[in-house]
Amino acid sequence: MTKIQLLTQTEKVLNKISYASKAPKNVKGWELEVDPALGYAYDQGLRFGLVHSYEGQNWVPQTPLSDHQQNRFDSILSSLPKVDPLKQSILRDTYPILVQPIPGISPHTVGVHEDQWSPEEYYRAMMLSRLANLPLSQTYQSHQVSDWIRGMLDSYYRAHDILIPTTTELRLGSDKKFVTGALTITPESGTYFNMAVLDFESLYPGVVDVYNLSYETIQCGHPECQSNKVPGQDISICRQRRGIFSAIIGALRDLRIHYYKPLLKTLDSQTEDYRVTKAANSILKLVLVASYGVTVRIHGLASPLLGEAITAYGREVLQSTFDLARNEGLKPKYGDTDSVFLDNPSDQQIDKFTRQVRDKYKLELAYDRRYSVCVLSGAKKAYFGILPSGETEIKGLTVAKSNSPRFFLKTFQDCLAILGKGRTSAQEFEAAKLGTRAVVNNALSFLRQGKIPLADLEYRVELREDPRKMINARTLPQPYQAAVLAAESGQNVSRRQEVGFVKVRPFKHGGRTFTVKPTAQAKPAEVNVDDYVRNLLSLLDQTFEPMGIRLGARIASVPSLSEF
Ligand SMILES: [Zn+2]
């Protein structure tokens, strides 16, 4: 038999060997990992999940499109920014199968017990069967998005006589183990009123589509493609050949952004239309989210150069969007992965800017949210914002980390509640800032009076090492002190386990000085109040520094419980 090789586009004559089960390990060749049953279905042109016939290389679903469905579809096609025959043909194949009615079947047919049957999950599984061309038994309650993507690619390749590349071929000779990540632009620390956050809608799938990033288009050998380099990388992308992966991901992205997502908002949640649309929308979302990750991590889909190209374009798009905003007189203050923060833009400015970006990159930048007040720390990925509703969002701040004591988070949240009251104007915010001092003083006085439950003073840390190996160390880090004490009281403590402990005043244990106790063993009177006061104030000062609030200096002079 003759097959086309994906990467070189040349023909290859092969002997076909069929296995009734998985191929033995020592056999060399292609498509050895394709499940024989699936291989049969692919070769017979079967399509899972819908009643259809097969004409030439096209699946023809049983139920024709309604006029309304056809009109909507035509408008998706006509909105494509350029002629793109491959993507159009994929859209033409995919759309009709996704909008087919969903047959009512019994749990028994899928091999699921009635108690575990979920109609919503069934709709999702049905959509997935159609999209990834996998049997329902493999899609019901499946969370293996990489299998879905592989199913899509494999069934496309097989239907078009393309030899599925081996894992080694896909790597294109690269032994790269890591891919450079997304860009985070250092924030301009400060307090901002009316900060707008704009997000790219599925940025990575977008660059995959727009820049034609696909297994067979990267590191192109054509002399005329050598100048089409990925920004900052020595990887050239083919200009002539449309990539299959990029066309598929692009088609799914178009369906989600231009069809399913807007459609879902218009439908009554009690209707069949809504259920079908919701199922398709959620499947598409998951596939799009995973489409970059599979190129890095997943056996049979990994192509490090492809992954590198995707994030490189992602970084390029974010940086140049940030620069464009500045050149347009907007005030960008922070950017991370796929979002930019703009200081107090008008709605008209946002509209104009998102249109400019769409025209320039063919990517959708959308208004996501506005903070009435947003406080950016000088560090990346660490800020908080107060929404117009008064709700707060906290990102990456140490004071709010899950292993910090709840007492810290709670005090911080109480401060935010006070600050939130001043969200309407800069003047009111100044007044609200003064209120935080009282909140903190109050919390500290509760702490000094021993009124904070030990559970709220607990730190939680995962043990990286086996505590038994650390037992003879001259000085023990605090989590291991807690582990030693817990073990001595008969608890089983091991590596990777999380220990909870409270900071207590220093005491001697077996010749060494310990400063913590497991929460269960600590007594309120032993709590190292000074340590908590110092830590809380320093964390709050770090967090509030951009607002010009300094809590530490003044409060530290108040005598604490331990000094009485
Ligand atoms: Zn080329």
Domain of residue 45, CATH code: 3.90.1600.10
User: Average pLDDT for residues 290-308, to the nearest whole number?
Assistant: 94
CA 211–ligand 1 middle distance (angstroms): 13
Burial of 490 (0-12, 13-18, 19+ CB in 10 A): exposed
CA 224–ligand 1 middle distance (angstroms): 7
Domain count, the chain: 1
> Quick one: what percent of the chain has pLDDT higher than 90?
66
CA 165–ligand 1 middle distance (angstroms): 19
CA 239–ligand 1 middle distance (angstroms): 5
CA 216–ligand 1 middle distance (angstroms): 9
Mean pLDDT lowest among 92-96, 243-247, 303-307, 368-372 = 92-96
Residue 413 counted as domain residue = no
**With bands split at pLDDT 50, 70 and 90, how would you rate the model's confidence at 29?**
confident
Residue 262 main-chain phi, psi, to 5 deg: -65, -35
Residue 499 counted as domain residue = no
Q: Please enumerate in sequence order all residues whose Cβ is within 8 A of that of 74, keeping only pairs 6 or more positions apart, or say none.
A: none
CA 404–ligand 1 middle distance (angstroms): 53
Residue 68 counted as domain residue = yes
pLDDT at position 280 over 90: yes
Residue 457 counted as domain residue = no
* Of 218, 258, 253, nearest in space to 238 by CA: 218
Q: Which of 16-25, 391-400, 462-471 has the highest mean pLDDT?
A: 391-400
CB 7 within 8 A of CB 306: no
CB 170 within 8 A of CB 302: yes
pLDDT at position 558 over 70: no
The region that residue 529 occupies, defined by phi over 0 for left and psi between -120 and 50 for alpha, beta otherwise, is alpha
CA 362–ligand 1 middle distance (angstroms): 21
CA 312–ligand 1 middle distance (angstroms): 19
Task: Give the pLDDT score at 399.
Answer: 87
pLDDT at position 16 over 60: yes
Task: Give the pLDDT score at 467.
Answer: 85
CA 147–ligand 1 middle distance (angstroms): 29
The region that residue 141 occupies, defined by phi over 0 for left and psi between -120 and 50 for alpha, beta otherwise, is left
- Better pLDDT: 62 or 529: 529
Task: Give the pLDDT score at 143.
Answer: 85
CB 190 within 8 A of CB 341: no
Residue 357 main-chain phi, psi, to 5 deg: -65, -40
Residue 157 counted as domain residue = yes
- Better pLDDT: 443 or 83: 443
CA 30–ligand 1 middle distance (angstroms): 25
Q: Which residue has 């817990």 as its token pair?
A: 486
**With bands split at pLDDT 50, 70 and 90, how would you rate the model's confidence at 562?**
very low
pLDDT at position 350 over 60: yes
Mean pLDDT lowest among 67-81, 303-317, 479-493 = 67-81
pLDDT at position 563 over 50: no
User: Average pLDDT for residues 353-375, to the nearest whole number?
Assistant: 95
Residue 160 counted as domain residue = yes
pLDDT of 402-461, one tens digit each? 889 999 999 999 999 999 999 999 899 999 999 999 999 999 999 999 999 999 999 999
CA 477–ligand 1 middle distance (angstroms): 57
State the average pLDDT for the chain: 90
Burial of 18 (0-12, 13-18, 19+ CB in 10 A): exposed
CA 240–ligand 1 middle distance (angstroms): 5
What are 53-59's contacts with CB under 8 Å, separation 24+? 57/159, 57/160, 58/93, 59/93, 59/97
Task: Give the pLDDT score at 57.
Answer: 66
User: Average pLDDT for residues 168-193, to the nearest whole number?
Assistant: 92
> Quick one: what percent of the chain has pLDDT higher than 70?
97
Task: Give the pLDDT score at 19.
Answer: 76
CB 241 within 8 A of CB 258: no
CA 160–ligand 1 middle distance (angstroms): 21
User: Average pLDDT for residues 93-118, to the nearest whole number?
Assistant: 87
CA 306–ligand 1 middle distance (angstroms): 15
CA 219–ligand 1 middle distance (angstroms): 8
CA 101–ligand 1 middle distance (angstroms): 41
Q: Which residue segment(s) compose the domain that 37 sits in?
A: 2-310
CA 244–ligand 1 middle distance (angstroms): 14
ipTM: 0.99
CA 215–ligand 1 middle distance (angstroms): 12
CA 223–ligand 1 middle distance (angstroms): 7
CA 301–ligand 1 middle distance (angstroms): 21
CA 236–ligand 1 middle distance (angstroms): 8
CA 303–ligand 1 middle distance (angstroms): 18
Task: Give the pLDDT score at 553.
Answer: 47
Residue 440 counted as domain residue = no
pLDDT at position 220 over 70: yes
CA 562–ligand 1 middle distance (angstroms): 74
Q: Read out DSSP for 183-213?
A: -EEPP--EEEEEEEEEEETTHHHHHHHHTT-
Task: Give the pLDDT score at 560.
Answer: 37
CA 352–ligand 1 middle distance (angstroms): 35
Task: Give the pLDDT score at 355.
Answer: 96
Task: Give the pLDDT score at 556.
Answer: 45
CA 225–ligand 1 middle distance (angstroms): 5
Task: Give the pLDDT score at 429.
Answer: 94
Task: Give the pLDDT score at 286.
Answer: 94
Q: Give the relative orientation of helices 406-420 and 426-448 as an angle to the nearest 10 degrees.
A: 150
Count of alpha carbons within 13 angstroms of residue 27, beta-carbon side? 12
CA 479–ligand 1 middle distance (angstroms): 56
- Better pLDDT: 23 or 394: 394
> From CA 152, how far away is CA 206, in angstroms rounded?
18
Residue 115 counted as domain residue = yes
User: Average pLDDT for residues 357-372, to the nearest whole number?
Assistant: 94
Q: Which residue has 């403590």 as its token pair?
A: 493
Task: Give the pLDDT score at 561.
Answer: 38
What is the C-alpha end-to-end distance of the chain, expressed in Å? 90
